[in-house]
Amino acid sequence: MSARHVHLRAGGVSLLLELDGDRLPVVLHWGTDLGELGDDGAALAGALAEQPFGNPVDGPMPVAVLPETSAGWPGTPGVGGHRGGVAAGTRFRVTGADVSGRAAPWRHGLVVEAVDDAARLGLRLEVEQADSGLVRLRARLTSVPANGPVGAPEGAPGAGPDGTAGDVPFDLAEVLLTLPVPARATELLDFTGHQLRERAPQRAPFGHGTHLRAAHRGRPGFDAAFLLAAGEAGFGDRRGQVWALHAATSGNPRLLAERSYHGRSVLGGGELLEPGEVRLAAGESYTSPWVYGTHGTGLDEASGRVHAWLRARPQHPRSPRPVVVNTWEAVTFDHDLERLTALADAAARVGAERFVLDDGWFGARRDDSAGLGDWVVSPDVWPKGLWPLVEHVRSLGMDFGLWVEPEMVNPDSDLARAHPDWLLTGADGAPLGPARHQQVLDLTHPDAFEHVLGRLDALLVEYPVASLKWDHNRELVGAVVPADGRAAAHRQNAALQRLLDVLRHRHRALEVESCASGGGRVDLEVLQRTERVWASDSTDAHERQDIQRWTSLLVPYELLGAHVSSPVAPTSGRALPLDFRAATALFGHFGIEWDLTGASAADQARVAQWVAYYKRVRGLLHSGTVVHGEHADPAYRLHGVVAPDRDDALFAWVCTATSPTWSPGPVRLPGLDPRRTYRVRPDGPVATADGVASRWGASLPWLDDGGVTLPGHLLADAGLAMPVLDPDRSLLLRVSEVDRRPPVL
């Protein structure tokens, strides 16, 4: 097979791959669109060939999308494992390659079939590109019998310790898919955090060695890397070339950045597999999670490619995202019909559209120590079932949602007492260590799976439940499947996907929100089966500014749950103004987490104003391009949404701290069309000059005049003087096109 070049290009991004002989494909370029290459592809490949000096092998050292030590790659291999102690490295031989169109939104793709005769492995490698320019990769490995139909000679070594036994499983240790980044990507960005402070950014130089981020929790966790980005020095929201990867698994993700003196730099991703977790018997397969790669000038452009792909999916929610009232912070476990109907009345008065009954409605669940797993409406608390509340909520014009945590059980529950064999254990067979009074239901056990599916299905048949808030409050550290003693995370996650798939197939209108002690399970895999993620249990709007900003790198606002909390945030004790709390929740899927029955009439009226405003602008918020203004003063930030046709935009000017300078100076408004003319004016419930005037003096002239009209290029390049705000205050700006006549430049 002679060298063949495959050029995938869409949305301003090129992915140029080379298949040379029978080796796996190598990425020659991933980044800025190269245009139509024609016959120049082969010439470019020759021009990009590097001097083979200092390599472990003579000649070139290609780094395939699934790197192989047999090609001389000295870094982390693409496939790790062994069959009975041998066949520890791979040498895949390509047997077929197909370049063809895909169903929208994945219109461009390459599928490569390959075999490793010695290791007795078949490989199917998929590379796809969306219209937005987003790329993704996935590998499926299949263990082939000794006489399997993949072209391996009978009795080839690697089948077992003696080289002949064909029934020895292949112990798979890792599958790592990689994309190269250029030498000018000298800085790394990924994320860490903890509960109530998820997705905190951290930066590091991209030097020689391996920067590895991996989870052992059975879910990504609060401190998940989330997205691993490499970029030019000082890259930001709107500047610097950026290349970023996300490993889409709700189990144990693994991301790495690797660079050595050989002149190769890669980003890689996949699933962390514990020892012995995946053992492939003859005919069995393992499919890696999709690894998504995005590129752009600045984080905004790279992020926008993910948002555009998500919004192009057939299952993406199209209806307006309803205003949610969740009962947790209002009543916690104190479920009382009179109290909850009063809360529903208050919710309806402010304009809520969905009422979600949180934890405490089932079994003996009067606190977090008992009843979890007994998915039967408590006859003590609800002697007539949930119907009195459900009918009242629906009579007010709201739909009804319910909290569940199907993957977990309390030891003090009817389920755990009846079926202790349905629980995951530690490696010694003993129960997992205590954590939140919970143990983990073994969804890989067929009877346990059918039980929880049946209970949930029965609830959804009996009651008109529009949405489930699906929680996951215990990590799976050290958990094994009792049936075989092997690590549980991979198979437990696969069972969760199947449970959601079956349930949603039976109840097509059902929406699901992913919650895991807040934001512990936010990834592109869970978003294929949910319509919302709960970004954090922190409803403190000050903390939420950062949590929502970084969560929105992958998650567009319509999928990002954001609620207005009570005047004093229960998660932090911080007192914040109502307008600031509401303006923060506005940039997401807006909701309320507050006992409105105890709110003053003035506060309830103000909440109603914000709800009405959200309904007016949610079409823009949930379809537009998310942008961030880069401002030198760390006390201030500017973020917003620009309509797809750029005729409309909404920005938030936010202060979160006292500033070392008196005036923040001019602030540029990004994302607008430079050739159009726009009117910029204060908007929302806080839309008057008095509402944004500093306590230290008068407002700005353009605010006093109710706005200003300027060409887009001046707003983007020169900017606007912004008002001095007190900490934890914000101003909304609506930007509307005046006409389409090009301004004089």
Active-site positions read 471, 537
Distance, in Å, from the CA atom of 516 to the CA atom of 506, rounded to the nearest integer, reads 24
Residue-wise burial string across 499-516, b where 16 or more C-beta atoms lie within 10 A, e elsewhere: bbeebbeebeebbbbbbb
Contact 90, 70 (CB under 8 A): yes
Alpha-carbon torsion (362, 368, 374, 380), positive or negative: negative
Contact 87, 118 (CB under 8 A): yes
Contact 122, 151 (CB under 8 A): no
Distance, in Å, from the CA atom of 604 to the CA atom of 349, rounded to the nearest integer, reads 8
**What angle (nearest 5°) sits at the alpha carbon of residue 184, between those of residues 550 and 78?**
75
Chain-centroid distance of CA 229 in Å reads: 14
Q: Give every strand in the sheet of 648-655, ordered side by side.
A: 625-629, 636-642, 648-655, 729-739, 677-683, 708-711
Distance, in Å, from the CA atom of 50 to the CA atom of 412, rounded to the nearest integer, reads 64
Distance, in Å, from the CA atom of 682 to the CA atom of 36, rounded to the nearest integer, reads 45
Q: Which helix (H) or strand (E) holds 243?
A: strand 241-247
Q: Is the omega angle on the peptide bond into residue 482 within 30 degrees of 0, that is, cis? A: no
SS3 365: coil
Helices and strands (H, E) in the chain, number of each type: 14, 37
Distance, in Å, from the CA atom of 139 to the CA atom of 80, rounded to the nearest integer, reads 13
For the residues of 495-522, what is the DSSP string, one character each? Answer: HHHHHHHHHHHHSTT-EEEE-BTTBSS-
Distance, in Å, from the CA atom of 179 to the CA atom of 66, rounded to the nearest integer, reads 9
